Amino acid sequence: MTWSVVCGWWLVVCGVLMTSCAPDTTTPTEVYPPVPAHMPAVPYPADNPITAEKAELGRHLFYEKRLSLNGTVSCATCHRPDVAFSDAPFQISTGINGQQGQRNAPMIVNAAYRTAMFWDGRASSLEEQAMGAFLNPIEMSADTFAVANLMRSAEYRDRWVRAFGDTTVTMRRTMQAIATFERTLVSANSRYDKFTRGDTNALTAQERHGLQLFFSDRTMCASCHGGTALTDDLYQNIGLFHHYFDRGRYEVTKDPKEEGLFKTPTLRNVALTPPYMASGDSEKGELRTLEQVMDH
């Protein structure tokens, strides 16, 4: 996976440093993982600076199924690392007790750069996004008590103290830890990235031709999927359906002009994340290949 080059080694090194410290260490250290020069700096919120200890706690919480109401669902259930932290190949994501929503979980690689979360943009930060999934009765249906129960474990108590300096458990701190881990998931070393950094052999001749078409006025792909992020972070209605039960951005703003609008997804790791669009289908059927998306 491409993000491992940027942050995977950072978490490993930080883990070694933390395990070498005394167990009663209570002063988290701000450590910022490096990002390649062609990428913008990750915007860390002032009220949630990144520390190695907090990222490590967040990593464990991200994979922790005991946080859900019945102990069967974690963040990683719908954001799996083997498919770029998306929910591929499922059309609709499934939460506790087999309940389903109406969309699939977006990929969270490079979510640190996004200004709004979820397909409809209803969360303005990764902390808020994590809270939404955490409290949603269909997804995890969790509460502060679930985190407090984890604190009965000496292992989690130690991680918590390392991250926050004391054992005070709050929902806000829980979401801060998870969001901190998610901000380390940066994809910046794909063959496309290497090409943009000057490695002309990183792409095949066919791929270079496709890149020219992608950024040309003939296709206008880059009008929505441009820049290093390969998304404009805006909302679009591309006419997948004439009549559709999901009203998209309208459900958040109640603005008739935003009926059927959904966030433009990034195209990073897109080959790993079918089916495509918010629910994986259109009036022409399921969109499981990039060729089908192009033909739509």
Query: Could you tell me the end-to-end alpha-carbon distance of the chain, in angstroms, rounded to an integer?
Result: 29
Q: Is the dihedral of CA 96, 101, 107, 108 positive or negative?
A: negative
Cis-peptide into 106, omega within 30 deg = no
User: Which CB contacts under 8 angstroms, 24+ apart, belong to 98-101?
Assistant: 99/137, 99/138, 100/138, 101/138, 101/139
Rounded Cα distance between 258 and 188, Å, is 32
DSSP count for the chain of H helices, then E strands: 11, 4
Cβ neighbours of 96 (radius 10 Å): 19
How many C-beta atoms lie closer than 10 Å to residue 124's C-beta?
12
Q: Which residues are catalytic?
A: 139
Dist CA 54 CA 50 (whole Å):
7
Q: How far apart are the C-alpha atoms of 269 and 2, rounded to whole Å?
A: 8
Q: Which amino acid is at 281?
A: D
3-state SS, residue 111? helix
Report the amino acid identity of residue 225: H
DSSP-based three-state secondary structure for 261: strand
The Cα–Cα gap between 288 and 296 comes to 12
Spatial separation of the C-alpha atoms in residues 205 and 67, rounded to whole Å: 48
